[in-house]
Structure 1
């Protein structure tokens, strides 16, 4: 039986889902061969999503098909996945709502893409569904939004541009707001709360996976204090708490075990606008960490996101003016060896003698860059089957898209991948 839709946007009525629908509408206005639909649990809200998207884009989307599906109704998810080649899952937090959709996709032959930044969910799905996805020939690819395509594909870009064997990378993320300010939506805040509260789950998951250590050189990324200043990016920085490091490390494992490529070591940091801002952020972070450990504290955090985040997160999310004026950049500082050693498991005996600085930049991260990344990843799945891994599985963006044109596609859609410096290490 022919699958009626190339793409189905599940959770189209959500804050991020609305922007995904608008971006897909613009794309399909240029390529009418793509067949797509939107899905969710409320017909009225789905129709309103299309009405809003029509108004924003100027493209008539009123006739886009609608599928009724609910994460609490597995059969409805099964029916949705039977109709889709690729499901774009925008329903988070994924730790609460993600697994039934992954299950339906794997059992009904649909590829699944999400934009989760939740390591426990991402690695949990790998543990539960990787083998079944392989047997079904289905790709389940998490973190296909701002978390973590810029980091994962940026690391691959930096490695590919390095003249020699790249040993390690440190990434520094900068978020820039326009004159209207910026912010994030409640769903992201909620994911962070429960991710922090259940961080020990990740340790248990990784023990269950029983992964063998990857070969590592004795030359590791520099040890940084929690708060440190980096001269290459001219700013203070703290460890980045998202899924980037988890995702990049999973990609490195896949590329070593499947492609026999040398694994690199990776650390992720977040750039601060100034020392005073950093100290204020650390104050709010301490309160967040304390409250997230207790159920009553989590209730407070969820009820008053604007207060406890210092105005960064809210139930309403950022306005379109705030989104339009915002941008991001991620700087990759790498070191390695000018001499190449063909055996990926053989370690260099010399010290790193070459460095590289690369950068990935783009428009506002959560609601402009994320839809671009998600949709372009889906198009690669549909159009570049010969460049994908031979079998399916629960994989990272870098594992699936390293040999595809995804980076070129992203650059054609307002993102930039650039080598800033490549030189001998002094």
Structure 2
């Protein structure tokens, strides 16, 4: 292959990788792309099956054989394209070899990891090398970090004044068209989450190493409420979920403060349900799961039995397509700050409500997002910062047209401005 492909979808035979192949003709239209994995016959089967499903001949899509256990094959794959779309997890075990190969080849890398230790570890280890190679390495390019990151970017762009705080209220709406399956996530996501919980201490060490400059003491401080409570304007009950999303958003705010001297936005995220009992029970289950993940024997039991411990919400089979298509989510952002010209020494007087929503958030929207980020890197490299580096998506794509790209795609992200009011 003498001419480089624009993009390669690595891990195309996996659960998420197959969906990425399905979405690629729409998102990567006009670009050249291929698929990669370790088994040629399985890759051919994916192209045949997906092609029949979407009514397109994908037999001409290039196939590249690459295996994370064979470093030379990964290096050869990275050399064959301009950006690798990495769908092969858990990234804690399989991600670094791909990242390293991409940087050495001068190839960009995007993935859908939500694994904080992997994300921070790659930034700590490879950021300056990626900058030297003019290569972007951007993780968390799927659900739910892209909605969180670009939701904050969208809110700030539509806020006439200076933003002080932003709160994100996340709701999932599950509609089971196929009553025989309750699964909403694949077991691979569960395994990644368990390993992240088990290695929380490692994450804190990475974060301390990366936080070379403290953020300013911002006032007024964003109030944090640790227990379940009702949010009246949404008529739902919410509790804080300090997943990787908050860390990713704050990474972006730190970089903008350090590199652009911009006032950071204080951020918190919450997840909500209709019932107070469901909200409290979910919070308790998460706390006990975190505790169990610290104990090696119990950790393996958790990993091997996702269906039992999640009451069927996660399984090795993953969600059936009918249920995926019926799932939807919305994230409502409450942004507070100062009006134009108002002194920052006064109490903020302005509140903006915005919202993001989509169907099939965990897989369909995730694949649309990661493909769209690859496209933006190729098309709008000049609008991205630093000419390379290991970066969070909110910082990398803030000045690009990613929001517009996600909004125009079928079943992409819908961005709305709901209300602006003075207090």
TM-score normalised to structure 2 length: 0.95
1:417 paired with 2:415, answer yes
Distance 2:102 2:3 in 1: 13
1:241–1:92 Cα change, 3 Å = farther
Note the C-alpha offset of 1:385. Answer: 2.1
SS of the residue 2:82 aligns to: strand
Distance in 1 between residues matched to 2:144 and 2:91, nearest whole Å:
13
CA–CA distance in 1 between the matches of 2:420 and 2:308? 44
Output the CA distance in 2 between the equivalents of 1:340 and 1:45: 61
Deviation for aligned residue 1:2: 6.2
The answer on 1:46 being equivalent to 2:43 is yes
Name the stretch that deviates more: 372-381 or 382-391. 382-391
CA distance in 1, matches of 2:3, 2:261: 36
Cα deviation for residue 60 of structure 1 reads: 1.2
SS of 1:258's equivalent? helix
Q: What is the deviation of 1:232?
A: 2.4
CA deviation profile, 1:125-177 (whole Å, cap 9, x unmatched): 11000000000000001110013110001101101111110001110111111
Distance in 2 separating the partners of 1:244 and 1:44: 37
> Which residue number corresponds to residue 85 of structure 2?
88
Alignment of 1:189-338 (within 5 A): 189-338=190-339
State the distance in 2 between where 1:380 and 1:78 align: 23
Cα separation, 2, equivalents of 1:397 and 1:2: 31
How many Å separate the matches in 2 of 1:109 and 1:351?
Answer: 48
Q: Is the deviation greater in 313-322 or in 177-186?
A: 177-186
Q: Determine helix, strand or coil for the equivalent of 2:238.
A: strand
Question: For structure 1, which runs of at least 5 residues remain unmatched after alignment?
Answer: 342-346
RMSD: 1.6
Give, in angstroms, the shift of residue 332 of structure 1.
0.6
Of 334, 346, 349, 1:353 maps to 349
The equivalent of 2:382 in structure 1 is 386
Check if 1:142 corresponds to 2:150: no
SS at match of 2:370: helix
1:117 is paired with a residue whose SS is coil
Q: CA deviation at 1:3?
A: 4.5
Paired residues of 2:131 and 2:386 also in contact (CA < 8 A): no
Partner of 1:8: 8
* Residues matched between the structures, number: 417
In the alignment, the residues of structure 1 paired with residue 273 and residue 101 of structure 2 have an alpha-carbon distance, to the nearest angstrom, of 41
Out of 312-321 and 396-405, give the one that drifted further: 396-405
What is the CA distance between 1:285 and its match in structure 2? 2.5
Q: After alignment, is 207-216 or 126-135 more displaced?
A: 207-216
Which residue of 107, 112, 115 maps to 1:110?
Answer: 107
Residue in 1 aligned with 2:22? 22
Rounded Cα–Cα distance in structure 2 between residues aligned with 1:216 and 1:47: 56
Aligned counterparts of 1:98 and 1:231: Cα–Cα separation in 2: 42
Contact 1:71–1:101 at 8 Å: present in 2 too?
Answer: yes
Compare 323-332 and 42-51 and name the one that shifted more: 42-51
**TM-fit CA distance, 1:182:** 5.1
Q: Which runs of 5+ in 2 are unaligned?
A: none
Q: CA deviation at 1:348?
A: 2.3
Query: Aligned residue for 2:172?
Result: 175
CA–CA distance in structure 1, aligned partners of residues 249 and 221 of structure 2: 16
| SS of structure 1 residue aligned to 2:221 | coil
Alpha-carbon shift at residue 282 of structure 1 (Å): 3.4
Which sits farther off after the overlay, 277-286 or 9-18?
A: 277-286
Q: Distance in 2 between matches of 1:135 and 1:225?
A: 42
The 8 Å contact of residues 9 and 89 in structure 1, kept in 2 or not, is answered as yes
Offset at residue 202 of structure 1 (A): 1.3
With structure 1 as the length reference, what TM-score do the two structures score? Answer: 0.94
Identify the range of structure 1 (179-188 vs 229-238) with the bigger mean alpha-carbon deviation.
179-188
**Divergent runs of 4+, >3 A:** none
